[in-house]
Amino acid sequence: MTPIAQSPSTLQSLMQEVISIARRAGDMIRTEQAGFDKAQIEMKGHHDYVSYADRKVEEFIVSQLTPLVPGAHFLTEEKTQKDKSQDETSTYTWIIDPIDGTTNFIHNMSPCCVSIALRNDHEILIGVVYEIGLDECFYSCKGDKAYLNGQEIHASSCTDSNHAFIELGLPYMSAKEPCLPEYLIKNLYGKIGGMRLLGACAAELCYVAAGRFEARIEENLGVWDVAAGGFILMQAGGRVTTFYNESSDINDEDSWLDAKQLLATNGHMHEFIRTCIQEVR
Ligand code: LIP
């Protein structure tokens, strides 16, 4: 396949098309959420919910993205597409979570969002996250800044852990994993500004990018939970690594992107939180 031109203007116009697709997918989610019948819930795993809405939205997104980068592969949470990202015919992969925050979605809660990233080999070129509850679209592309609904965003400049506002994520696989948030709550309670569990990793990474929070921490994540939001955060001046690895390089194949565990911060809080995690594990 022909590689897509990666000039800033080409990527920006491709990004605008992805934003439009994410917003239309968001409209579908809003409609489905308004009339959602809990009898439609299915289980993918222990406490890991899915519904026909996730699959319907995913199929819509795939159909709209397909002509934008002909031959690109798809890596999607709901597996409506075969993962061919290891096959050599294309280096481009769309990474999609049609509804990130599915548990929030089925309980008619926010945040829940659409997350779409375009990856070329191990480099992310575009990230778009659209959160439906507050009608907030976060986006960035290689060579550009990070934006929320047209306004530039930046990770916070907070350097004082005493005021840090931190988001934790609870993985679904409770039986298999020792619960890191439990240890972190014990360890950080009284030492930082506040902690929240919001339940939609992609949106929460963008909240760190927009300076609302100082950090977001979770393990056992899928690449579709982190690809777009992690990229947007880095473009907004934040830092994204695994808990143990120093690497924050989006071109590094051993990086956070495929690691399933994510320490995402405004940069200033990184070592403070990494040390806390290392103390409790
Ligand atoms: C979920 C997340 C949530 C996280 C879960 C899960 P889903 O994704 O975004 O914040 O805690 O581990 O990955 O299933 O709603 O797309």
**Closest residue by CA, ligand 1 atom 5:** 171
Q: Is 225 in the pocket of ligand 1 (CB under 6 A)?
A: yes
Which residues have C-beta within 8 Å of that of residue 112, sequence separation ≥ 6? 29, 33, 99, 100, 101, 102, 104, 105, 131, 132, 133, 200, 203
Chain CA centroid to CA 29, Å: 17
pLDDT number for residue 252: 47
Which one-letter amino acid corresponds to residue 26? Answer: G
pTM for this prediction: 0.92
Per-residue model confidence as pLDDT tens digits over 131-149 = 999 999 999 999 999 999 9
**DSSP-derived secondary structure for 216-274:** EEEES--HHHHHHHHHHHHHTT-EEE-SS-----TT-TTSGGGTSEEEEE-STTHHHHH
List, for residues 70-93, the tens digit of each pLDDT value.
Answer: 999 999 987 877 776 666 678 999
Structure confidence by residue, pLDDT tens digits, 176-187: 666 888 889 988
Q: Is 233's C-beta closer than 6 angstroms to any atom of ligand 1?
A: no
